[in-house]
């Protein structure tokens, strides 16, 4: 698993060169605008709601003793919940809406890596790519929320809180990498087959997603570069995995 995670991370090396060499920057402007608009909308809403959520949770503690502690725990929990859900919503919305723009990018990178255009892959149009992106990301969003809430609750327990934070980050990374890999997989596999493929290659998805998530913590520049670099890295690694499984090449 660790070897595969590192492999997913290493795939980012040389991504800028590939993007420039193939002249792909022009394909990223609409996804970058989607990314900016989504980030502003979600995180401004989250900031406005943070105090309200913390106040609502603290009201459940009706006793005078330990009131301040209850308020503090409520604020910490609401902060973690808002950050986690904000990042979850951000990446899935951006990935879903960017699917029709990222699929052609992935296709060009795949043809470059293989030295030819694959003729037998699934031929999909803009609408089908958009629907595929929405479907995959709705599925991943549901799964991620189901995992995130109990992880946050466990994180409130003293001592193991740090472990909970690491686990939460890895879950976020996995589903980010999943979305990036599917831009390539949608040409080769049906919906259910793609889920099985990523499940077999969890480490690679996590490695790709770790870098994706780290980019989001870089103000402005992170939002600009996160999709171009992560999609390119995911395509490079996914094509390699498909070749190993003799699906292409």
Q: For the segment 153-211, what is each residue's pLDDT rounded down to a tens digit?
A: 887 777 777 788 899 899 999 999 999 999 999 999 999 999 999 999 999 999 999 99
Q: List the one residue out of 6, 18, 2, 1 whose CA is nearest residue 236.
A: 18
The winner for highest mean pLDDT among 61-70, 124-133, 224-233 is 224-233
pLDDT at 79: 67
Between residues 86 and 18, which one has the greater pLDDT?
A: 18
- pTM for the predicted model, two decimal places: 0.85
* Phi/psi of residue 117, nearest 5 degrees: -90, 125
Distance CA 169, CA 117 (A): 36
The winner for highest mean pLDDT among 7-11, 119-123, 156-160 is 7-11
Q: List the one residue out of 209, 234, 215, 211 whose CA is nearest residue 92.
A: 209
Q: Is the pLDDT of residue 249 over 60?
A: no
Q: Is the pLDDT of residue 27 over 70?
A: yes
From first CA to last CA, the distance across the chain in angstroms is: 25
pLDDT at 136: 95
pLDDT at 44: 77
- What mean pLDDT comes out for the span 50-68? 62
pLDDT, mean over the chain: 85
pLDDT at 55: 62
pLDDT at 148: 86
pLDDT at 230: 97
175 HSE (CA, 13 A, CB side):
30
pLDDT at 205: 97
193 HSE (CA, 13 A, CB side):
10
With the CA atoms of 180, 182, 187 and 193 taken in that order, what torsion angle do they form, in degrees rounded to the nearest 10?
A: 160
Percent share of the chain, pLDDT over 90: 53
- What mean pLDDT comes out for the span 71-88? 71
* Residue 57 confidence class, pLDDT cut points 50, 70, 90: low
Distance CA 214, CA 202 (A): 18
Those residues whose C-beta lies under 8 Å from the C-beta of residue 101, and which sit 6 or more positions away, are 27, 28, 30, 31
Q: Is the pLDDT of residue 121 over 80?
A: no
Q: Is the pLDDT of residue 61 over 90?
A: no
């Amino acid at each position: 698993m660790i070897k595969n995670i590192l492999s997913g991370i290493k795939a980012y090396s040389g991504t800028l060169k590939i993007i420039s060499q193939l002249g792909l920057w022009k394909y990223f402007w609409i996804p970058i605008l989607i990314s900016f608009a989504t980030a502003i909308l979600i995180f401004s809403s989250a900031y406005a709601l943070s105090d309200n959520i913390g106040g609502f949770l603290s009201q459940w503690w009706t006793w005078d003793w330990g009131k301040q502690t209850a308020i503090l725990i409520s604020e910490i929990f609401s902060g973690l919940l808002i950050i986690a859900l904000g990042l979850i919503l951000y990446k899935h919305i951006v990935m879903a809406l960017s699917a029709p723009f990222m699929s052609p990018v992935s296709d060009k990178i795949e043809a470059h890596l293989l030295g030819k255009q694959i003729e037998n892959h699934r031929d999909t149009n803009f609408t089908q790519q958009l629907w595929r992106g929405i479907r995959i990301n709705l599925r991943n969003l549901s799964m991620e929320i189901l995992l995130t809430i109990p992880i946050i609750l466990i994180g409130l327990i003293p001592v193991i809180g740090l472990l909970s934070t690491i686990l939460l980050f890895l879950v976020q990374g996995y589903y980010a990498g999943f979305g990036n890999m599917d831009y390539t997989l949608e040409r080769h596999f049906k919906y259910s087959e793609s889920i099985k493929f990523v499940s077999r290659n969890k480490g690679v998805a996590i490695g790709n997603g770790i870098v994706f998530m780290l980019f989001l913590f870089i103000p402005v520049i992170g939002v600009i570069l996160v999709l171009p670099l992560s999609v390119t890295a995911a395509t490079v690694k996914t094509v390699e995995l498909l070749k190993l499984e003799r699906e292409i090449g």
